[in-house]
Amino acid sequence: MTKTKAAAAATLALICAGAVAAPTGAADPVRKRVKVADNFFSPKRFSVPVGSVIVWKWSRLNGETHDVFLSRKPKGVKRFQSAPAATDFTFKRKLRKAGTYRMICTFHEGMAMRVTVTR
């Protein structure tokens, strides 16, 4: 048996025996889409792992202008706000710190959502 074949066999044996390090259990970042419609976000509550990208997409059927404003945030996170738009608009942000993020539409009282970012 050559050295290369012997090394490959040894590696395969370790993998089969479970001796190779397993993932740490931390979830991989995701890309989560949120619909911005007349007077609501959908979904309005969800959780994602650190590093996930949230993409807000305005409905083509909207009759009113909306925005996304970060009203409450984890300590150290910089506030953000999208441009106001009515239809066919997209806004995205990468959430890099664990904690609770609350977003509102500054044009419509009660139009709110919450994202929990986990480690």
In a domain, residue 72? The reply is yes
- Please report the pLDDT score of residue 27 as a whole number: 85
Q: Is the pLDDT of residue 8 over 60?
A: no
- Please report the pLDDT score of residue 15 as a whole number: 43
Each residue of 12-34: pLDDT tens digit?
Answer: 444 444 444 444 557 899 999 99
CATH of the domain at 74: 2.60.40.420
Each residue of 78-106: pLDDT tens digit?
Answer: 999 999 999 999 999 999 999 999 999 99
- Please report the pLDDT score of residue 65 as a whole number: 98
Each residue of 105-114: pLDDT tens digit?
Answer: 999 999 999 9
Domain tally, the chain: 1
In a domain, residue 32? The reply is yes
- Please report the pLDDT score of residue 33 as a whole number: 98
CB 101 within 8 A of CB 74: yes
> How far apart, in whole angstroms, are the C-alpha atoms of residue 2 and residue 68?
62
In a domain, residue 78? The reply is yes
In a domain, residue 16? The reply is no
DSSP secondary structure string, the chain?
Answer: --HHHHHHHHHHHHHHHT-SPPP-SPPPP-EEEEEEETTEEESSEEEEETTEEEEEEE-TT--S-B--EEEE--TTPPP-BPPPBSSS-EEEEEE-S-EEEEEE-TTSTT-EEEEEEE-
pTM (two decimals): 0.78
Query: What range defines the domain where residue 50 resides?
Result: 23-118
In a domain, residue 75? The reply is yes
In a domain, residue 4? The reply is no
In a domain, residue 17? The reply is no
